[in-house]
Amino acid sequence: MAEGEEEVNYASGVFKAGNNHPPADSAGHLRFQHLAPCLGILCVILLGGLIGVRVYQSNVKDLSAEVQELKTRILELETQKNNLTQQIQNLTTNWNDLNVSRAQWSIDSYCLGNIDKKCEACQKGWKLTAPSCCQYNYLPSLRWKTWEEAQKDCSGNNSYLAVAHDSEEKEAINVKSIGYNGYWIGLRVVNKKWEWVDGSNLTDSSWIDPPADGHCAVFKKDKDTWSSVSCNLKRQWICQKKALSV
């Protein structure tokens, strides 16, 4: 080598064709990075499933409790129904017994005490005005009643203020009446029209003046028409009930 020249060394290397592979630890790190999101998603799905199962179990438990409560309530209602049914049966029996008793009392009141042992169509003190029986409360003026008081008195005797639906009934009441002071009958103004105590309407408007609020009908013997007066006035009264078929 000539003096003054520098010595230069070159390193030699061998290169092979093909892919360049990263180190092993780098490859594993890359695979983990790809798997991590999947594992996270899977964990979320599993967590959601567990929550769903817990909610379902809770709902099933609540539903079971509600079903049991409904069953208990149904049993209670069945018991109440049975009790009410029994009460209705008892009341029906008592009512039937009472009706039989009242019917027997009614028959006795029509039949007993007669010398010929025959039943009469009307009770003692009542007059037959076919097809009904009437009681003419012909009393001193101090014992007269308002229309409402008279109707209440009739109700206490299992009857009602007299009703005349046709001319025959009207005439029958007139024939058996006593005195000329006038009697309350079961006709009054309701909703601006004449109405009988049985709920039917007056069919012949010529029998009385046009309806006036607060007015009731008074019958007077031997008069074809009736008087329309205040229901608060006091008058005698006629009670009526069905006659006994004999």
Residue 42 or residue 1, greater confidence? 42
**Predicted confidence (pLDDT) at residue 20 exceeds the cutoff of 60:** no
Q: Are residues 235 and 132 in the same domain?
A: yes
In the prediction, which pLDDT does 60 show? 75
**Predicted confidence (pLDDT) at residue 17 exceeds the cutoff of 50:** no
In the prediction, which pLDDT does 99 show? 58
Which residues span the domain enclosing 111?
30-119
Query: Of the candidates 119, 142, 170, which is a domain's last residue?
Result: 119
Q: Are residues 50 and 110 in the same domain?
A: yes
Residue 104 or residue 119, greater confidence? 119
In the prediction, which pLDDT does 108 show? 65
**Integer Cα distance of 84 and 104 in angstroms:** 30
C-alpha to C-alpha distances, 170 to 131, 134, 173, 222, nearest whole angstrom: 12, 12, 5, 11
Q: Are residues 112 and 215 in the same domain?
A: no
Q: Are residues 238 and 133 in the same domain?
A: yes
Confidence of residue 35 (pLDDT cuts 50, 70, 90): low
201 in Cβ contact with 195 (< 8 Å): yes
Confidence of residue 57 (pLDDT cuts 50, 70, 90): confident
Q: Is residue 201 part of a domain?
A: yes
**Integer Cα distance of 226 and 220 in angstroms:** 7
In the prediction, which pLDDT does 14 show? 47
**Integer Cα distance of 28 and 226 in angstroms:** 120
In the prediction, which pLDDT does 143 show? 95
Residue 117: half-sphere exposure toward Cβ, Cα within 13 Å: 0
Strand pairing category for 183-190 and 236-242: parallel
In the prediction, which pLDDT does 107 show? 65
**Predicted confidence (pLDDT) at residue 125 exceeds the cutoff of 60:** yes
Residue 59 or residue 191, greater confidence? 191
The DSSP bridge partners found for residue 229 are 216
Q: Are residues 157 and 237 in the same domain?
A: yes
Percent of the chain past pLDDT 70, that is, above it, reads 75
Q: Is residue 158 part of a domain?
A: yes
Confidence of residue 109 (pLDDT cuts 50, 70, 90): low
Q: Are residues 236 and 151 in the same domain?
A: yes
In the prediction, which pLDDT does 80 show? 86
Q: Are residues 231 and 148 in the same domain?
A: yes
Domain CATH code at residue 209: 3.10.100.10
Q: Is residue 24 part of a domain?
A: no
Query: Of the candidates 76, 102, 119, which is a domain's last residue?
Result: 119
How much is the average pLDDT of 124-148? 91
**Predicted confidence (pLDDT) at residue 71 exceeds the cutoff of 50:** yes
Tens digit of each residue's pLDDT (9 = 90 or more) over 169-222: 999 999 888 888 899 999 999 999 999 999 999 999 999 999 999 999 999 998
Confidence of residue 227 (pLDDT cuts 50, 70, 90): very high
**Integer Cα distance of 117 and 80 in angstroms:** 51
In the prediction, which pLDDT does 101 show? 47
Q: Is residue 21 part of a domain?
A: no
**Predicted confidence (pLDDT) at residue 123 exceeds the cutoff of 60:** yes
How much is the average pLDDT of 58-81? 83
Tens digit of each residue's pLDDT (9 = 90 or more) over 155-171: 998 899 999 999 999 99
Q: Are residues 134 and 224 in the same domain?
A: yes
